[in-house]
Amino acid sequence: MNLSSPSAPSHPLARFGWDEGWEAEFSPYAAQGLVPGRVVRVDRGQCDVVTADGTVRADTAFVTPHDPVRVVCTGDWVAVEPDGNPRYVRAYLPRRTAFVRSTSSKRSEGQILAANVDHAIIAVSLAVELDLARVERFLALAWESGAQPAVVLTKADLVPDAATLAYLVQDVETAAPGVPVLAVSAVDGEGLDVLAAVVAGGTAVLLGQSGAGKSTLANALLGEEVMDVRATRDVDGKGRHTTTTRNLLPLPGGGVLIDTPGLRGVGLWDAGSGVGQVFSEIEELAGRCRFHDCAHESEPGCAVRAAIDAGELPERRLDSYRKLMRENQRIVAKTDARLRAEIRKEWKRRGAEGRAAMEAKRGRRR
């Protein structure tokens, strides 16, 4: 087999997502005699890469920049040396999508979690009270990545009352406009066929907190006990990190699945458009406000406040929207000097308006 010029439809990597587009992107590396492969796991500067001849271990020393967003990650398509001990990854192909969050460090860096993902499956456990704000946070990052999000409410068997389950699904649908919301049980198989159809034929990444049932869900989709599963605490539904690395696994019905460790923190990273997508109804209403810079507080002609007063928009949604927009603005401003200057200018303008209003109020009292 000529590994430097694989045929996309019949190539062994097709089941991992190889197509004519990737083949075209890889052509310069094929001319150098390098081998295409997809990263299925990364740890400690090395990665497992599935190639046409099987999975090989490769070193990433040649593609390890200081920017943690640009390091090799699970889901990347890479150019690997055909032989050698050790073998090296020489480059990765331009990513179609990238799921990035901010790190917990004070340097305001992004961290890439998965690359070239078609579906972002956000697992939310029904064993504990729904945290809609957290769902919205995950959705913002999913939309920003370029993937199509879906919310999976796991452990649906713990909610035997159909009416209650329907209300829970409806609550999440309100927080996730335009996003499929599925109630799934790995115990009795409820909803698994629908989810399998959603992820078939592409790359899906499983996201969620520890204890959300991601590994159990992964095993159900894979049809075998591949991922270790541990019990969660009854008091809060949380569990230890069963999955400690990101693993890419082929699904029996087509497509591949990336299982990720439970995420304690999900910080935004330059996700302004993703936040706008999650709160599309608020941004649409804001376009009807009388003032283009309306803060949706007490301004006359505010369409957002009117929708809240009419019971058409929950106040919680506006609060969550503001919180995520402020957080995202802070992250972006730390790396954008021009934006920092604009924010300071806006603060000064609002401060001057506040002082003027106070002076006017004092004048009326005299």
Give 305 or 227, the one with higher predicted confidence: 305
Q: What is the pLDDT of residues 38-50, one digit of tens each?
A: 999 998 889 999 9
Q: 232 is written with which tokens?
A: 């969660």
Spatial neighbors of 257 by CB under 8 A, at least 6 apart, are 199, 203, 204, 205, 206, 218, 221, 222, 248, 249, 250, 251
Q: How do strand 119-125 and strand 110-115 relate by DSSP bridges? A: unpaired
Residue type, 16: F
* pLDDT value of position 342: 53
Q: Is pLDDT of 105 > 60? A: no
- What average pLDDT does range 325-350 have in this prediction? 62
Cα pseudo-dihedral 334, 335, 341, 344, rounded to 10? -10
Query: What percent of the chain clears pLDDT 70, i.e. is strictly above it?
Result: 78
Q: What is the pLDDT of residues 241-288, one digit of tens each?
A: 444 467 899 998 888 999 887 555 566 666 778 888 899 999 999 999
Q: What is the pLDDT of residues 200-225, one digit of tens each?
A: 879 999 988 878 888 889 899 988 76
Within 146-292, residue ranges assigned H as helices are 162-175, 192-199, 214-222, 272-278, 280-286
d(CA 299, CA 294): 7
Residue type, 324: L
> How many CA atoms, within 13 angstroms, populate the side-chain half-sphere of residue 179?
34
Q: Read out DSSP for 95-135?
A: PS-EEEEE-SSTT--EEEEEES-SEEEEEEETTS---HHHH
Q: Is the sign of the CA dihedral 139, 144, 149, 154 positive or negative?
A: negative
In sequence order, the β-bridge partners of residue 122 are 151, 207
